[in-house]
Chains A and B, each alone.
Chain A
Amino acid sequence: MSENDFDIREFLDAFLTESREIVAMLDQDLLALESSGPDPERVDRVFRGLHTLKGTSGFFDLPILQALSHAGEDLVVAIRTRRTTVDSPGVLDSLLDTTQGIRSILDNLAADAKEGVIELESLLESLRLATGAHAPKDGEETDEAQRSSTRTEASLTSGERTTIRVNVGVLDELMNLVGELVLTRNQLMAATNRFESNRGGPVQKLASLTRDLRKLAIRARLLPVGTLFEHLPRVVRDMSKACNKNIELVCSGAATELDRSVIEAVQIPLSHLIRNAIDHGLEDAKMRKKNGKPAAGQLLVSARSEGNDVWIEVADDGRGIDIERVGSMAVEADLVAAEELKTLSDNSILRFIFSPGFSTADKVTNLSGRGMGMDIIRTEVERIGGAVTIGTSPGQGTTVSLRLPLTVAISAVLLVETGGGSLALPQRDVREILRLPVEKREGMALETRESGEHVLCLGDRTIPVIHLAAALQPGTALPPLEKRTVVLVRMDNQLVGLLVTELVSTLDVVVKPLPEEWMGEAPFTGATIDAWGRVLPVLDVRALVHRIPSVRTQERDRIAPTKSAPRTSVTPPESHLLCTVRGTTQVAVPLTSIESLSFINTEKVHPAGEGWRVARPGGDLDLVHLCAPSDEDRGLSPDLDGECCVIVCTDGDGRFGLLVERPEGIIDLPKGEEAPSSFPASRGMLQHDGQPLEILHAEGLRELREAMLGAGD
């Protein structure tokens, strides 16, 4: 008996999964019928879907679901036998209500294996009304049903089986094991590194196999973003009806793949972004006409992948966000002083939308809404290691971009030496890295106040700095730091500096949680194991900052990327690697163009053509030095003794290396604020911390490679 129950429950899970897929497909087809008119093939599919639901619900003894899908099927039969049409009043509406009803029954079943209470009678009534006065005769219905079920089977057997269903638990376990394998490989490689003879041997082979296996294990967990987009037409339809606005939804990039857990995490935030856009962003038809826009509001939801990130953007062509109003709201909500507001760039003001205090005042902001403020959307996205940015252009629309990690199983950390031990910082918290002393940079200084607190002065902004080793070992006398590096981390609307001795490296790691009951005051989110088998605690920046009252209450960050930020359109910033090329010349290379970064001995670099070349295991790599070599430089190796840094850039068709003195850190740069420049591969120049900064772009780098390889050979 109990064995029997267990079986039913197991089948029930499979039934729920399959039924949800059917309902999603029904929605799609019904919405397509609504937007593009009658299509017999779609009607057939709707029929088959409802028929399958009816049949299986009978098998599981679910009378409500059976009655509902039966009534829905009757209505579709009426369409197929031309007793009514899809565009007759109430037909599609009642069918869509039916799918909604079925969905809530499925939710109830998932929760407690019971169908629960839904408004069955009114649903059935509206279906009956739409079907017409006379219900179909029994014989008619059976015929239809039989015809279609044979067809369904035929199409099933003819389709080739190229996919199988796998329990998610198995995939999670696989990912865990692969994570362990990666760690073991790292340890093995570190242990065998001194034996040069191992190069190309079994250890290297194991390393590359592990890498491939990891990629595959990650891929096995990926789902197309399309599964996330599936329910959007429904949200848009319901919202546009509720707001009485005509909306045209376009989804692109549905084939982009993303980890299952990431998809689950962003599902709700995404539908809230859509609701916000329809409710607050897009104007009604009258207003749009007045502004010379097409009557239907455009809503573009797009997905694309860039390296290890996936971007999902929600763009509307509505009224945009009134930045001045956001600013005055922020002052009202006491998030910023009125004086300070004047010094802020548009980007910084827009960021107030993400502040917790902001969303509650929904009467004024034109972005808050429906129970989920932007702060919650941000928290949700950041929880999985993503980021939210927002760009707006008055009268032309708003774009909210979600940057999401491809997978949450592996995260990037920055390994730092604190002077009292090493630890890892989550890379996603790191905004900028500054090596000290920084006298080269104008107006920048690390100051120690009388109370012993450190602050970093950058022009007119001051950033609280935490001496990491001292904060973690209070009461211990520490020797002064030999080298000093400040890692700027962002939390909420504040920048905080962490004073460490130096950066060790960046690592992709599996972060394991630590048991909370043992943590006490320790501000760590988890721990990981490095290549040498050392355990590295991963810092919880938020928890650390909350320990230090002086920092918590200090001034808010006042970032103004450029003082003269024009008050026009603002596009979301893009991440760049900031590097010193030579002396005071700095460039920013878009992260999306970078394949890897390595330090090489200059002895291994040889002149070749206009540039240099270095031999690498995978073939020679052409190098270019961005500061055009003067004649006396020709023939010499790049201008450093001993070691230099190579940034390997790729554009899909080929790769080359940029020679730089050293990487400085990662920064987010806004678009459209740079001045023209003639620097190679540059799209423009910015003033960054009082110094000119050349911003390289992908097209420029491609041209550079093509020119160089042409000249070199």
Chain B
Amino acid sequence: MQACTFHIGELLVAIPTEEIREIVLPQTVTPLPLAPALVRGLTHVRGDIHIAVYLHARLAQSESDLNADNCLQVILTENHGAIALLVDAVGDIVDFPEESSVFEPGALAMKAETQHNGEVLLLHVANAINPTATPGE
């Protein structure tokens, strides 16, 4: 299985390439007051409005500060809804052995060994961006 790695704060996170539609250069994110903490605001890609989500707090269980306008945006495939994941930088394309993508039920991510690039945090996209999931678990 192929994945692309991204830097989210100090974390190195891998997202399966088949769940990524495109990666967009930094652009303005309009804050959405009173929205869940995960939501950094609204952004748009060619007229389609997306929810900009920064996963650091959820994955690292620590507060993070960022300027969302400086983040690259990973636009997920449409089955995930109109979501733009905010990331600080793009890493590499990595390969996983097939059997490594077995998640525990409800897991947001898990540590997984890549074929050539060592250990990274492999994201379970659907769980990680589930707005109703309890943060931190």
A residues sitting closer than 8 Å to B (CB atoms) are 180, 183-184, 420-421, 472-473, 512, 514-515, 517-524, 527, 529, 533-537, 547
Residues in A with CB closer than 8 Å to B36 are 518, 520
B1 part of interface (Cβ distance < 8 Å): no
Are B30 and A536 neighbours in the complex by a CB distance under 8 Å?
A: yes
Are A518 and B30 neighbours in the complex by a CB distance under 8 Å?
A: no
Interface centre among A420, A514, A536 (most CB of B within 10 A): A514
Residues in A with CB closer than 8 Å to B44 are 529, 533, 535
Q: Which B-chain residue is minimally distant from A176 (CB atoms)?
A: B47
Are A524 and B28 neighbours in the complex by a CB distance under 8 Å?
A: no
Are B51 and A515 neighbours in the complex by a CB distance under 8 Å?
A: yes
B24 to chain A, nearest CB (A): 12
B134 part of interface (Cβ distance < 8 Å): no
- The answer to whether A472 and B35 touch (CB under 8 A), given A515-B81, A517-B131, is no
Q: Which A-chain residue is minimally distant from B82 (CB atoms)?
A: A515
Are B47 and A522 neighbours in the complex by a CB distance under 8 Å?
A: no
B105-137: which have CB < 8 Å to A? 131-132
Q: Is the interface of B mostly helix, strand, loop or mixed?
A: loop
B20 part of interface (Cβ distance < 8 Å): no
Are A519 and B35 neighbours in the complex by a CB distance under 8 Å?
A: yes
A511 to chain B, nearest CB (A): 10
Q: Which A-chain residue is minimally distant from B37 (CB atoms)?
A: A520
B39 part of interface (Cβ distance < 8 Å): yes
Determine the distance from Cα of A248 to Cα of B24 in the docked complex, in whole angstroms.
65
> Could you show 7 A-B contacts with beta carbons less than 8 Å apart?
A184-B47, A515-B82, A518-B36, A520-B34, A522-B35, A533-B27, A536-B30
B64 to chain A, nearest CB (A): 18
Residues in A with CB closer than 8 Å to B47 are 180, 183-184, 529
Are B33 and A518 neighbours in the complex by a CB distance under 8 Å?
A: no
- The answer to whether A518 and B35 touch (CB under 8 A), given A529-B44, A535-B43, A535-B44, is yes
Residues in A with CB closer than 8 Å to B27 are 533
Q: Which B-chain residue is minimally distant from A515 (CB atoms)?
A: B81
Contact among A180, A523, A527 with B42 in the assembled complex (CB-CB below 8 Å): A527
B99 to chain A, nearest CB (A): 32
Are B34 and A421 neighbours in the complex by a CB distance under 8 Å?
A: no
B31 part of interface (Cβ distance < 8 Å): yes
Residues in B with CB closer than 8 Å to A523 are 34
B15-51: which have CB < 8 Å to A? 27-28, 30-36, 39, 41-44, 47, 49, 51
B74 to chain A, nearest CB (A): 16
Determine the distance from Cα of A625 to Cα of B110 in the docked complex, in whole angstroms.
72
Residues in B with CB closer than 8 Å to A521 are 34-35
Determine the distance from Cα of A514 to Cα of B27 in the docked complex, in whole angstroms.
19
Contact among A519, A520, A535 with B49 in the assembled complex (CB-CB below 8 Å): A535
Are A514 and B51 neighbours in the complex by a CB distance under 8 Å?
A: yes
Determine the distance from Cα of A473 to Cα of B47 in the docked complex, in whole angstroms.
27
Residues in A with CB closer than 8 Å to B81 are 515, 518
Interface centre among A515, A518, A524, A536 (most CB of B within 10 A): A518
B40 to chain A, nearest CB (A): 11
- The answer to whether A537 and B39 touch (CB under 8 A), given A514-B49, A515-B81, is no
Determine the distance from Cα of A515 to Cα of B36 in the docked complex, in whole angstroms.
13
Are A518 and B43 neighbours in the complex by a CB distance under 8 Å?
A: no
Determine the distance from Cα of A537 to Cα of B42 in the docked complex, in whole angstroms.
8
- The answer to whether A472 and B131 touch (CB under 8 A), given A183-B47, A529-B44, is no
Determine the distance from Cα of A420 to Cα of B34 in the docked complex, in whole angstroms.
13
Determine the distance from Cα of A514 to Cα of B43 in the docked complex, in whole angstroms.
12
Determine the distance from Cα of A346 to Cα of B35 in the docked complex, in whole angstroms.
42
Are B34 and A518 neighbours in the complex by a CB distance under 8 Å?
A: no
Contact among B33, B43, B132 with A522 in the assembled complex (CB-CB below 8 Å): B33
Residues in A with CB closer than 8 Å to B132 are 517
Residues in B with CB closer than 8 Å to A533 are 27-28, 44
B36 to chain A, nearest CB (A): 4
Residues in A with CB closer than 8 Å to B82 are 515
Q: Which A-chain residue is minimally distant from B41 (CB atoms)?
A: A535
Determine the distance from Cα of A524 to Cα of B42 in the docked complex, in whole angstroms.
12
Query: Residue-by-residue, is B69-80 near A (CB-CB < 8 Å gives 1, otherwise 0)?
Result: 000000000000
Are A518 and B49 neighbours in the complex by a CB distance under 8 Å?
A: no
Residues in B with CB closer than 8 Å to A547 are 34
Q: Which A-chain residue is minimally distant from B52 (CB atoms)?
A: A535
- The answer to whether A535 and B33 touch (CB under 8 A), given A180-B47, A514-B49, A515-B51, is no
Residues in B with CB closer than 8 Å to A420 are 33
Are A518 and B51 neighbours in the complex by a CB distance under 8 Å?
A: yes
16 extra interface residue pairs, beta carbon distance < 8 Å, beyond A514-B42, A520-B36, A522-B34: A420-B33, A421-B30, A421-B31, A472-B34, A512-B49, A514-B49, A515-B51, A518-B39, A519-B32, A522-B35, A522-B39, A524-B32, A527-B49, A529-B44, A535-B43, A537-B32
B75 to chain A, nearest CB (A): 15
Residues in A with CB closer than 8 Å to B39 are 518, 520, 522
Residues in B with CB closer than 8 Å to A473 are 33
Determine the distance from Cα of A42 to Cα of B33 in the docked complex, in whole angstroms.
63
Are A529 and B32 neighbours in the complex by a CB distance under 8 Å?
A: no
Q: Which B-chain residue is minimally distant from A519 (CB atoms)?
A: B35
Q: Which A-chain residue is minimally distant from B132 (CB atoms)?
A: A517
Residues in B with CB closer than 8 Å to A512 are 49
Q: Which A-chain residue is minimally distant from B29 (CB atoms)?
A: A535
Determine the distance from Cα of A233 to Cα of B27 in the docked complex, in whole angstroms.
57
Residues in A with CB closer than 8 Å to B32 are 519, 522, 524, 537
Determine the distance from Cα of A537 to Cα of B33 in the docked complex, in whole angstroms.
9
- The answer to whether A534 and B34 touch (CB under 8 A), given A515-B81, A520-B39, A527-B42, is no
B12 to chain A, nearest CB (A): 26
Query: Residue-by-residue, is B46-65 near A (CB-CB < 8 Å gives 1, otherwise 0)?
Result: 01010100000000000000
Residues in B with CB closer than 8 Å to A519 are 32, 35
Are B33 and A520 neighbours in the complex by a CB distance under 8 Å?
A: no
A365 to chain B, nearest CB (A): 39
Interface centre among B33, B36, B81 (most CB of A within 10 A): B33
Residues in A with CB closer than 8 Å to B131 are 517-518, 520
B38 to chain A, nearest CB (A): 8
Residues in A with CB closer than 8 Å to B30 are 421, 527, 534-537
B65-106: which have CB < 8 Å to A? 81-82
Residues in B with CB closer than 8 Å to A537 are 30, 32-33, 42
Residues in A with CB closer than 8 Å to B43 are 535
Q: Which B-chain residue is minimally distant from A547 (CB atoms)?
A: B34
Determine the distance from Cα of A359 to Cα of B34 in the docked complex, in whole angstroms.
35
Determine the distance from Cα of A184 to Cα of B47 in the docked complex, in whole angstroms.
8
Interface centre among A519, A533, A534, A535 (most CB of B within 10 A): A535
B8 to chain A, nearest CB (A): 19
Determine the distance from Cα of A522 to Cα of B51 in the docked complex, in whole angstroms.
13
